[in-house]
């Protein structure tokens, strides 16, 4: 139990590395949480600061989950798949609810991709393909994310990782879907900013 407690703690602290907030403060002197959709994540960074910074944030958020799981693999060489799932889930929780930001963070999409890579790089590649294909086909990142977490559940079942891992995958999916409810409502009302409009726009919310 002590091992699992440390695994969870390490994951949560890595998740608290809020790169959209950090880079926004350092490079733009702005708080990402007060702009755009109001969340500290890669997709909102794209909308607010542009795609270059958004991609940078996304890569860093993916890496923090991968590095956290790699550290767990190194520290606990006998760690089973449940330990990796607990660590990855904790990274996502740290990203979404960072203690030093009054528990107001992002939505965990990039960290979920990083978790998949940390568990099995093939799952990570497939996860990126799923989110890219669906997002580009529908023109909305939120729908790509919902497809990603659905894939995560199915992949966990297919790989036979066990009921505990399936429950964690379902938990991650439900949390992601809940956080994206406002996006889905805006899509239905045609108020959501599409990928094409974001990339085509020459004007940024913040110069």
Count of all residues that appear for the chain in the document: 207
Q: Can you give the pLDDT at residue 198?
A: 67
Q: What's the CA angle centered on 139, arms 50 and 146, to 5 degrees?
A: 100
Token match 């702005």: residue?
30
| Measured distance CA(142)–CA(180) in Å, rounded | 6
Q: Which residues of the chain have pLDDT under 50?
A: 202-207
Q: Can you give the pLDDT at residue 36?
A: 75
Q: Residue ranges per domain, the chain?
A: 2-200
Backbone angles phi, psi at 41, to 5 degrees: -140, 175
CA 164 to chain centre: 21
pLDDT tens across 7-36, in order?
Answer: 999 999 999 999 998 888 888 888 888 887
Q: Can you give the pLDDT at residue 25?
A: 87
pTM score over 0.75: yes
């Amino acid at each position: 139990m002590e091992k699992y407690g440390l695994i969870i703690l390490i994951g949560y602290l890595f998740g608290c590395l809020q790169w959209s907030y950090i880079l926004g403060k350092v490079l733009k002197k702005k708080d990402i949480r007060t702009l755009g959709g109001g969340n500290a994540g890669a997709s909102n960074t794209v909308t607010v600061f542009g795609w270059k910074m958004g991609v940078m944030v996304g890569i860093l958020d993916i890496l923090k989950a991968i590095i956290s799981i790699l550290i767990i693999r190194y520290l606990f060489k006998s760690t089973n798949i449940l330990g990796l799932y607990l660590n990855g889930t904790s990274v996502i929780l740290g990203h979404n609810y960072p203690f030093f930001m009054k528990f107001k963070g992002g939505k965990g999409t990039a960290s979920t991709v990083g978790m998949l890579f940390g568990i099995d790089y093939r799952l990570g590649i497939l996860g990126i393909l799923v989110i890219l294909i669906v997002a580009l086909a529908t023109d909305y990142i939120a729908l790509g994310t919902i497809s990603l977490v659905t894939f995560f559940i199915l992949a966990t079942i297919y790989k036979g990782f066990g009921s505990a891992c399936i429950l964690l995958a379902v938990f991650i999916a439900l949390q992601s879907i809940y956080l994206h409810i406002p996006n889905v409502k805006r899509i239905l009302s045609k108020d959501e900013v599409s990928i094409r409009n974001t990339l085509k726009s020459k004007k940024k919310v913040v110069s």
